């Protein structure tokens, strides 16, 4: 019996048979089901792990290009020398031990009708359910003069942690006192909304810590506001007076072109010469999702808000930075590791329920995102969502940013700087161990 | 393992998905991001919560929700959940085994901590395992987390509801705070 027929048969059975009769064949069908997960970042690793944890007899395959994953969260702290990139790296042995087939390959063509994923290595995987967590890819053309070759060469964006992170760190270390470190911010949405501003803070922390206080960090922004703005500006004023300047889009902050030779960033009406030029190019859903036709006109994958299943193709669930999710348009879920992990857990619940011919369970989405602006100076933003009348809504009584003005500010900021690190240790274990 | 056994038992009567077996688990899974699977933390400054007394867990979550207890992050999360969900979460994590965290401790500080904690034993038990169904386990809790908790109790600007704990924490020297944390962390 083909997959399709067997599933229809089970659905028919579910309607016709009394509950006590159908559980055994149903469970057996689900147990044989093949789930393929593409992308071994926070979202994909969590999906693979929780699928196996929640339903141990499932056949789960994780497809990932790299043997070692490097966490983007806390990678800005590597640029400043406050963190070590080794602490951000993790392999896939933990997932293998759980009985997940980990295939180091790249996903090529996805056929949503035949339900197959062709791998670049030549293999083709058939699936009953497919989880896509391909993260982001860059639109280098969004900033004229910037290219992938430059990113991998002298002008790292360092917006995927790894060798580029270390290269940017070296450029910062080599920058003379009085130099200008320019960070260009693409139009939203982009991964890690507070990322560019945390990076500016960490660069300033390095400069201050090394007595290079005549230097400047210039943020050239395509946008008119940013995540945790009040908290960052408070930290900048306190820790790095006069060192960080933010130019919003409305004040001609949007960089449209660069000259890599002279390290000059051009806005519509102005130009800024940099000693270190850190271009963060605009991005979109990972190419795997894009090539599978799962993205909208803005380049992101729309999903059912309650299950994470693609609204374009059935039996494909898209989680993590690639998807558009949240109580849109006001409270879109930020593209964070924490969002990806909770989305993955919801997708797992929905997949197992669907394979068992059951309705998807009530989903729980939450996001916690820490930023470290200076040593012992961390803060966070929290998002909590709930289902109300079948719709996903942002819980306005909860969530929000850390308190800005409080007598307990020193303790509060110190705790959250510490929690940022504890958070990373636990979320890495939750996803990969 | 336990899940598999449970599945076996339930197979005859119920569908075997975790959500069907335990509806609070989907919500509890969101706690794993920071507190570890089954509340066993691997981040030294995040507390393990699996196996802590139900009454304690419920109480602190309700205090965060009302604002009676200071929190850096938890209050903003917990305000998103009903009292019933909070009670169910407390029950869920209390039902998990308490797993003392394997961590390196400083023998000298542990020895000093043993002396200093004599005055804590009335409430927390000699090894930090009060076992009274209300007082949280300190045996094998993360040292770094315990030291951060002490920072809260020692800062007058921070609203921590337990007066005895505030008073006790303020009487300790910086070294003694470390010693107390190291001592409890070293206990199994």
Residue B64 covered by a domain: yes
Residue B13 covered by a domain: no
Chain A hits for B14, Cβ within 8 Å: 23
Mean pLDDT of all residues in A30-47: 93
Let me know whether B88 and B112 are in one domain: no
Let me know whether B68 and B128 are in one domain: no
Spatial distance between the Cα atoms of A232 and A222, rounded to a whole number of angstroms:
18
Spatial distance between the Cα atoms of A205 and B145, rounded to a whole number of angstroms:
25
Q: Do B32 and A407 make contact, defined as CB atoms within 8 angstroms?
A: no
B110-162 pLDDT tens trace:
999 999 999 999 999 999 999 999 999 999 999 999 999 999 999 999 989 99
Give the CA diameter of chain B: 60
Spatial distance between the Cα atoms of A203 and A239, rounded to a whole number of angstroms:
12
Let me know whether B116 and B89 are in one domain: no
Mean pLDDT of all residues in A397-417: 96
Mean pLDDT of all residues in B88-104: 97
Chain B hits for A418, Cβ within 8 Å: 45, 144, 148
Q: Do A380 and B3 make contact, defined as CB atoms within 8 angstroms?
A: no
B85, closest residue in chain A (CA to CA): A364
B23, closest residue in chain A (CA to CA): A361
Interface probe for B, chosen from A340, A343, A419, A428 (most Cβ of B below 10 Å), is: A419
B10, closest residue in chain A (CA to CA): A23
- Beta strand pairing call for A59-64 and A101-104: parallel
Q: Do A361 and B29 make contact, defined as CB atoms within 8 angstroms?
A: no
Let me know whether B159 and B180 are in one domain: yes
Spatial distance between the Cα atoms of A296 and B28, rounded to a whole number of angstroms:
33
Q: How confident is the model at residue A31 (pLDDT cuts 50, 70, 90)?
A: low
Residue B130 covered by a domain: yes
Domain boundary residue, one of B67, B96, B125:
B96
Cβ contact A146:A242 at 8 Å = no
For residue A328, the model assigns a pLDDT of 86
CATH 3.50.50.60 domain range(s) in chain A: 3-137+284-359, 140-282
CB contact residues (below 8 A), chain A span 30-89, against chain B: 50, 53-56
Chain B hits for A345, Cβ within 8 Å: 26, 29-30
Residue B19 covered by a domain: no
For residue A113, give Cα distances in angstroms to A127, A237, A312, A316, A348. Answer: 11, 56, 12, 11, 21
Let me know whether B51 and B92 are in one domain: yes
Spatial distance between the Cα atoms of A364 and A385, rounded to a whole number of angstroms:
7
Spatial distance between the Cα atoms of B86 and A384, rounded to a whole number of angstroms:
14
For residue A366, give Cα distances in angstroms to A3, A60, A430, B82. Answer: 35, 25, 15, 15
Q: Which residue has the tokens 């169910």?
A: B88
| A to B CB pairs, distance under 8 Å | 164
Number of structural domains in chain B: 2
What CATH code is assigned to A3-137+284-359? 3.50.50.60
Chain A hits for B73, Cβ within 8 Å: 368, 380, 382, 402, 416, 419
Q: Do A430 and B26 make contact, defined as CB atoms within 8 angstroms?
A: no
Residue B90, domain CATH: 1.10.760.10
pLDDT(B173) > 80: yes
Residue A397 contacts B, CB cutoff 8 Å: yes
Mean pLDDT of all residues in A57-70: 98
Q: Which residue has the tokens 């994953």?
A: A69
Closest CA relative to residue A312, chosen from A138, A51, A113:
A113
> Would the ipTM clear 0.85, i.e. be above it?
yes
Mean pLDDT of all residues in A173-177: 98
Token couple for A22: 């159908």
For residue A226, the model assigns a pLDDT of 97
Q: What domain range includes position B76?
A: 46-96
Q: Which residue has the tokens 């691997």?
A: B42
Residue A242 contacts B, CB cutoff 8 Å: no
For residue A422, the model assigns a pLDDT of 96
Residue B21 covered by a domain: no
A380 vs B43, B73, B145: nearest CB? B73
Chain B hits for A361, Cβ within 8 Å: 17, 19, 23, 26
A419 vs B14, B23, B45: nearest CB? B45
For residue A329, the model assigns a pLDDT of 84
Spatial distance between the Cα atoms of A307 and A351, rounded to a whole number of angstroms:
8
For residue B64, give Cα distances in angstroms to A69, A225, B136, B161. Answer: 35, 30, 16, 11
Residue A398 contacts B, CB cutoff 8 Å: yes
Mean pLDDT of all residues in A67-96: 98
Q: Do B16 and A398 make contact, defined as CB atoms within 8 angstroms?
A: no
For residue A357, the model assigns a pLDDT of 95
Query: Any bridge partners for residue A184, and if so which?
Result: A220, A279
How far is the alpha carbon of A106 from chain B, nearest alpha carbon, in Å? 27
Chain A hits for B5, Cβ within 8 Å: none
A301-359 pLDDT tens trace:
999 999 999 999 999 999 999 999 998 888 999 999 999 999 999 999 999 999 999 99
Residue B22 covered by a domain: no
pTM given for the model: 0.91
Let me know whether B126 and B151 are in one domain: yes
Residue A415 contacts B, CB cutoff 8 Å: yes
A426 vs B41, B77, B81: nearest CB? B41
Q: Do A382 and B34 make contact, defined as CB atoms within 8 angstroms?
A: no
Chain B hits for A385, Cβ within 8 Å: 80
Interface probe for B, chosen from A10, A33, A343, A361 (most Cβ of B below 10 Å), is: A361
Mean pLDDT of all residues in A286-312: 97
Let me know whether B80 and B144 are in one domain: no
Q: Is A85 helix (H, G, I), strand (E, B) or coil?
A: helix
CA A175 to chain centre: 30
Spatial distance between the Cα atoms of B36 and A164, rounded to a whole number of angstroms:
30
A140-282: what fold? FAD/NAD(P)-binding domain (3.50.50)
B27 vs A50, A364, A398: nearest CB? A364
Let me know whether B117 and B89 are in one domain: no
Residue B2 covered by a domain: no
For residue A330, the model assigns a pLDDT of 84
Residue B59 covered by a domain: yes
């Amino acid at each position: 019996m083909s997959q399709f027929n067997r599933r229809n048969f089970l659905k028919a059975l579910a309607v016709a048979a009394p509950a006590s009769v159908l559980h055994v064949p149903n469970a057996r069908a689900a147990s044989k089901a093949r789930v393929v997960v593409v992308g071994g970042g926070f979202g994909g690793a969590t999906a693979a792990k929780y699928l196996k944890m929640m339903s141990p007899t499932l056949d789960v395959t994780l497809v990932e290009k790299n043997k070692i994953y490097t966490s983007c969260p806390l990678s800005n702290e590597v640029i400043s020398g406050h963190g070590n990139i080794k602490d951000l790296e993790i392999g896939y042995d933990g997932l293998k031990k759980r009985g997940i087939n980990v295939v180091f390959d790249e996903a090529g063509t996805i056929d949503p009708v035949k339900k197959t994923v062709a791998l670049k290595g030549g293999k083709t995987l058939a699936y009953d359910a497919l989880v896509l967590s391909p993260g982001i890819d860059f639109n280098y053309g969004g900033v004229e003069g910037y290219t992938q070759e430059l990113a991998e060469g002298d002008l790292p964006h360092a917006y995927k942690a790894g060798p580029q992170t270390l290269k940017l760190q070296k450029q910062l270390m080599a920058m003379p006192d009085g130099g200008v470190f320019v960070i260009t911010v693409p139009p939203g949405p982009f991964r890690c909304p507070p990322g560019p501003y945390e990076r500016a803070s960490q660069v300033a922390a390095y400069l201050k810590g090394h007595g290079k206080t005549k230097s400047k960090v210039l943020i050239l922004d395509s946008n008119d506001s940013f995540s945790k703005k009040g908290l960052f500006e408070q930290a900048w004023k306190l820790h790095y007076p006069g060192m960080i300047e933010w130019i919003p889009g409305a004040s001609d902050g949007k960089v449209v072109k660069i000259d890599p030779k002279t390290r000059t960033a051009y806005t519509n009406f102005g130009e800024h010469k940099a000693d270190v030029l850190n271009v963060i190019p605009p991005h979109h859903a990972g190419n795997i999702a894009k090539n599978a036709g799962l993205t909208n006109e803005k380049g992101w994958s729309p999903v059912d808000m309650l299950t994470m299943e693609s609204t374009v193709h059935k039996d494909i669930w898209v989680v993590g930075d690639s998807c558009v999710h949240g109580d849109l348009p006001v409270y879109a879920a930020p593209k964070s590791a924490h969002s990806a992990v909770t989305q993955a857990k919801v997708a797992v619940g929905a997949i197992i329920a669907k394979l068992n011919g059951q309705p998807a369970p009530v989903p729980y989405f939450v996001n916690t995102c820490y930023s470290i602006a200076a040593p012992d100076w961390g803060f966070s933003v929290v998002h909590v969502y709930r289902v109300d009348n079948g719709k996903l809504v942002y819980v306005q009584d909860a969530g929000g940013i850390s308190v800005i003005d409080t007598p307990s500010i020193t303790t509060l900021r110190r705790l959250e700087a510490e929690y940022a690190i504890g958070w990373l240790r636990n979320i890495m274990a939750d996803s990969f161990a | 393992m336990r899940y598999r056994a449970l599945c076996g038992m339930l197979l005859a009567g119920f569908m075997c998905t975790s959500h069907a077996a335990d509806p609070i688990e989907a919500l509890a899974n969101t706690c794993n991001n920071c507190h570890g699977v089954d509340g066993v933390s691997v981040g030294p400054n995040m507390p393990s919560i699996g196996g802590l007394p139900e009454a304690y867990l419920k109480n602190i979550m309700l205090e965060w929700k009302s604002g009676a207890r200071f929190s850096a992050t938890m209050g903003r999360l917990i305000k998103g959940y009903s009292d019933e969900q909070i009670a169910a979460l407390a029950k869920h994590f209390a039902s998990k085994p308490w797993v003392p965290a394997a961590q390196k401790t400083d023998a000298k500080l542990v020895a000093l901590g043993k002396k200093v904690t004599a005055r804590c034993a009335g409430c927390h038990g000699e090894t930090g395992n009060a076992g009274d169904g209300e007082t949280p386990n300190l045996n094998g809790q993360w040292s770094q987390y315990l030291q951060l908790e002490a920072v809260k109790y020692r800062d007058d600007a921070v609203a921590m509801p337990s007066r005895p704990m505030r008073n006790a924490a303020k009487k300790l020297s910086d070294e003694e705070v470390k010693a107390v944390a190291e001592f409890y962390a070293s206990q199994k």
